[in-house]
Amino acid sequence: MDKYNELLEMVTSMEKDFQKFYDGDNKAAGTRIRKGLQDLKAHCQTLRLEVQEMKNNG
């Protein structure tokens, strides 16, 4: 469950930047969101491969 908590933490850590970008029209927050989403994508890919490996190895 540590991996799930890491994933959840990554998503919730971007909440303030989402608010600043969509509600406050803060363009720098948009840049931080894009970076956070890229990091999230990489983390998800790593997690996906780990799950696949565990599934295949039993």
Q: Give per-residue pLDDT as tens, 1-58.
A: 899 999 999 999 999 999 999 999 999 999 999 999 999 999 999 999 999 999 999 8
Q: Which residues of 32-52 are buried (b: 16+ CB within 10 A; e: fewer)?
A: bbeebeeeeeeeeeeeeeeee
pLDDT at 58: 81
Distance CA 14, CA 7 (A): 12
Amino acid at 14: M
- Whole-structure pTM value: 0.86
Q: Where are the domains of the chain?
A: 17-57
